[in-house]
């Protein structure tokens, strides 16, 4: 099984930001990537605390669909207006 998981390194310990279905003392291979490679560099956009909080959100696909269905017009316009409010 291969899976990508966000983690934070603090105090000499690598802590995953989501629960892992692993047995105690199970050995795994960890690959470290310094940066996320995307079309637009978003490194540092979210703090580790924000990422950890987002992992705890129990948002279903139905919740997302319901929220998106309330948006009239262009989703891009809504995103731009929300960012301008920051």
Q: What's the pLDDT band for 4 if we cut at 50, 70, 90?
A: confident
Residue 12 vs residues 8, 15, 18, 49: alpha-carbon distances, Å: 10, 10, 18, 17
Q: Residue 14 — φ and ψ, nearest 5°? A: -90, 115
pTM exceeding 0.75: no
Which residues make Cβ contacts (< 8 Å) with residue 15, sequence separation at least 6? 7, 8, 9
Q: Domains of the chain: which residue ranges?
A: 7-85
Across 73-82, average pLDDT: 80
pLDDT at 25: 92
Residue 53 or 86, more confident: 53
Greater model confidence, 9 or 36:
9
Residue 69 has pLDDT above 60, yes or no: yes
Joined together, the tokens standing for residue 54 give 């987002």
């Amino acid at each position: 099984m291969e899976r990508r998981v966000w983690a934070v390194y603090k105090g000499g310990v690598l802590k995953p930001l989501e629960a892992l279905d692993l047995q105690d003392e199970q050995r795994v291979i960890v690959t470290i990537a310094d940066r996320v490679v995307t079309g637009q560099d978003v490194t540092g956009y979210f703090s580790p605390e924000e990422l950890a909080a987002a992992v705890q959100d129990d948002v279903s696909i139905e919740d997302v669909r319901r929220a998106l269905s309330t948006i009239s017009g262009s989703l891009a316009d809504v995103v731009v207006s929300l960012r301008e409010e920051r």
